[in-house]
Structure 1
């Protein structure tokens, strides 16, 4: 009883003390301890996240806008300068600059006064003048103080050509079937019909030279290699070699007759191609005559309606996606680069997935956890930080020179010293990038396996399932979303890598795709084009960086879209797997 009374008194005293403390602090402002509440860290982390998101969005908007407007027809301006000379071209961009003393000394008093009134600043516009074969340059800066007159005449046009880039000017005449026709408008129906026929003839020439003649050359090379193999197998000669030589001579004569017939057809078409001409005139009166079939497209943007411009815009996009590059990759299409990027990425996923998943399964489910396994995990994590160019050197030395060289010695001795697999190619590039990205898949798969509740494993084993049955039916299905995450990350990184590819197979221009109609139909030993390397080549290796800038943006936009599409497909598969096991704990 005494203890109860004592406890009650103690509690009453404590309540009284609390009441007194509240009265003492009533009306007083208690300082807020932001450091302990974490407010500065919260604002810092939130601000860093917001900044990162803004930077990413700004980059995507920059790429999207510059890429999406690249193929839109721009107006063609004809500018008469103060000294009477004429300049014509598409305005591409403008900037404000401060003319130096050496420039001001060459200007008239009126021009200097205009610059002085603007605070010593002046505006200038970069015109895409084209006509590289006449001017030696594609662009020209035109300051605003030198403009005397600016017009946009409807007869001005921009001709996209197979060689020498675009031509900006007017059309004087064209010839067809030996008759010369004067042109009054670049939208003349007779010119359009003649140009269509000339382009069809040019396409037929390419089909014969690359298709039919290419097939004849392929079989001729195949017969030569077959004879070479027999000679290597029988170095002392004999009846076998003589019989093979006779078969080769007969086959060569037959193929030679086919080649001569096709070459004669192509030569006749080429003579007609070179006979149909078109004459351009640049703004200062200089003429340029060339085959009509070498002109890809004639765009009179000053005389086009909105619907006409949209047609040109869509036709340029179609050419970009379905055609081959031209003009040092700064014009034309990028179909080989699209094909090479997709093929390499798919091969990368096919190779890296089993190796990464099997390694992670062994480390997590089978290996005894100890110092050795810890060292292996640390090594795997460190591999993710190795520079990608090191993987390229390893891929070139091991895959191409050692493995590929051995394959050539065993299976393709007749092709030596020209290498088949002993040099860079699609297969070695895919294996190199698979080696580069396998640590990502291993780490992601291990995390996914560890997230599967242990109770599920124990329940499966208690029901009589073996360890492998438990892994196959319980663990792997529930870990699959995490595994797909690792594959997505590997795909995204591998598709954008460029440095290792420069050593193990990517080239500036691949004359042959890795797939064709000849056995074995898929040729993994061939070099290929890649969108990432295409961006680097156009942006930093072209003769005119200004001419290549639009292609850099539009190719970057396409690469981002391609990676986004492949990743989105993998994400959809992953989400379906998540919904399948919605009731499980991950």
Structure 2
């Protein structure tokens, strides 16, 4: 036993056990997040409940079962409810009822004992809308161009789907017109306003120049009116058709098809239809814009903003980190100053991220951005251009935050390169700069990529500094569009990490937001893994490419 202890085997087993437990914990956590997030998109069965109220009146409730819980019977007795003496726990069911404009809450708890009847009627329909959440009920009739379409449920569904396809096409045309021609004209009009203001500040606004600007403004205004008229016509066309629905109150409600995004009958779906709907719902979550205070719709702007900011950060931090590491390792003299700099770099890695956010807000946004506005954009005053939080300042802030990681990793890679390679290159007549560029840096590139991987992994999940230097709850436009200069690094952006915080802790509808927190968290982890796997693939390629030089 003593010999086995001295051999070090216990420590090997202890280490392997700790690593295994850590892997199990990480995989279990990811599995829990994936399950709670992905199950949200599965089409749930819609039930019709007959619920007996304390006053004896029977109420009809239509909705989806979200959660089940057990409540101590004594708690209900304390609240004045009549519960049998021999009952210790009562099952409570959380039901999503939708129809937000007609009920106080679209989520409600119902005691299982008060449910006298529960059925999943095959004709129950979910109307997914662009506002006020889902609507549940039975299709009574469809109004197409003023004509009432009735008949069996299949006939009404066919008419409804045909009308919805028409509305979807009209909405696509309207959105394309608004985001294309109208947005471009607005951008040009704003450019003319700024140009006129700049010429006024420079005392170069002559009557001829002003007349030319006014002529361009008039032409753009006339063109805008044409597109605006067409936009109003398209929006009016989307409101032509309607569907009449009988809700859980037994009343007929008329819904405009312009507010309906999709219609589902989950009670009629088979397993393959449900899988198809599940995949379609996940795809929509990835590519659609958010709605209803981020509790409905998708997260595409947040995905785009996260990836764009991380890539911009990587472009900034890599050259600065590599240059700093090369100077410290190859050029700087071994002395007190160099040692102090290395200690400072290592200590920077332990500074809380929110401190970097405060620094970025104070230096990048107010000082650097304000100076840029004063020098190059005086005509925009008092509205800031670069003097307000934006994606550029967020990328720079996170670049400083992750800079120590890149420096340390690159230095370690440089220290592993044999001195004989440097000496051989110098002996053949190459200069030190040529040796660095042609021999040392290529061989250190896997270590540089390792530092970049660590930097991306940390930056993609940071939220606290971004809240100060650029991220917002809802960004009106992406940092990239069709207007010159096409990449607008001064704009604010959405981020998946902040989206999770906003939905989880700032949402007015907690029950609706809860599954989205898990779905967004799983998506953020997937994005980080995707970025890291790309960088790891590049690193492995570089490592194999320069492996022969190490020997």
1: CA distance, partners of 2:213 / 2:428: 69
2:188 is matched with 219
1:98 is matched with 72
2:62 is matched with 88
Distance 1:106 1:80, change over 3 A: farther
Aligned positions of 1:89-238 closer than 5 A: 89-103=63-77, 106-108=80-82, 112=84, 116=86, 120-182=88-150, 184-185=152-153, 188-234=157-203
Q: Is 1:269–2:234 an aligned residue pair?
A: yes
What is the TM-score with the length of structure 1 in the denominator?
0.88
Aligned positions of 1:446-457 closer than 5 A: 446-457=411-422
What is the TM-score with the length of structure 2 in the denominator?
0.94
Q: Is 1:295–2:260 an aligned residue pair?
A: yes
Q: Deviations over 1:7-48 (max 9, x none)?
A: xxxxxxxxxxxxxxxxxxxxxxxx737775656655554443
Of 426, 430, 451 in structure 1, the residue corresponding to residue 391 of structure 2 is 426
Q: Deviations over 1:449-473 (max 9, x none)?
A: 1111223223333333322222223
SS in 2 for 1:69: helix
2: CA distance, partners of 1:525 / 1:105: 56
Aligned residue pairs total 546
- The offset of 1:324, in angstroms, is 1.1
2: CA distance, partners of 1:52 / 1:165: 40
* Structure of greater Rg: 1
Q: Deviations over 1:260-287 (max 9, x none)?
A: 2222222233333333222333212244
Q: Is 1:509–2:478 an aligned residue pair?
A: no
SS in 1 for 2:2: coil
* Contact 2:142–2:159 (Cα < 8 Å) also in 1: no
In structure 2, runs of 5+ residues without a counterpart are none
Aligned positions of 1:363-374 closer than 5 A: 363-374=328-339
SS in 2 for 1:511: coil
* Contact 1:174–1:292 (Cα < 8 Å) also in 2: no
SS in 2 for 1:188: helix
* Contact 1:71–1:316 (Cα < 8 Å) also in 2: yes
Aligned positions of 1:574-585 closer than 5 A: 574-585=539-550
Q: Is 1:74–2:44 an aligned residue pair?
A: yes
Of 354, 363, 374 in structure 1, the residue corresponding to residue 319 of structure 2 is 354
Q: Deviations over 1:295-339 (max 9, x none)?
A: 001111001223332332233223222221111111112221111
In structure 1, runs of 5+ residues without a counterpart are 1-30
1: CA distance, partners of 2:206 / 2:499: 47
2:277 is matched with 312
2: CA distance, partners of 1:407 / 1:151: 66
Segments ≥4 residues shifted beyond 6 Å: none
2: CA distance, partners of 1:376 / 1:351: 21
Aligned positions of 1:383-402 closer than 5 A: 383-402=348-367
Q: Deviations over 1:502-528 (max 9, x none)?
A: 111111111111111111111111111
Aligned positions of 1:533-544 closer than 5 A: 533-544=498-509
2: CA distance, partners of 1:441 / 1:282: 60
* Contact 2:181–2:227 (Cα < 8 Å) also in 1: yes
2: CA distance, partners of 1:47 / 1:138: 48
* Contact 1:341–1:531 (Cα < 8 Å) also in 2: yes
Of 26, 37, 46 in structure 2, the residue corresponding to residue 56 of structure 1 is 26
2: CA distance, partners of 1:105 / 1:378: 63
Distance 1:105 1:353, change over 3 A: closer
Q: Deviations over 1:536-580 (max 9, x none)?
A: 111111111220122222222222111111111111111112212
Distance 1:560 1:101, change over 3 A: closer
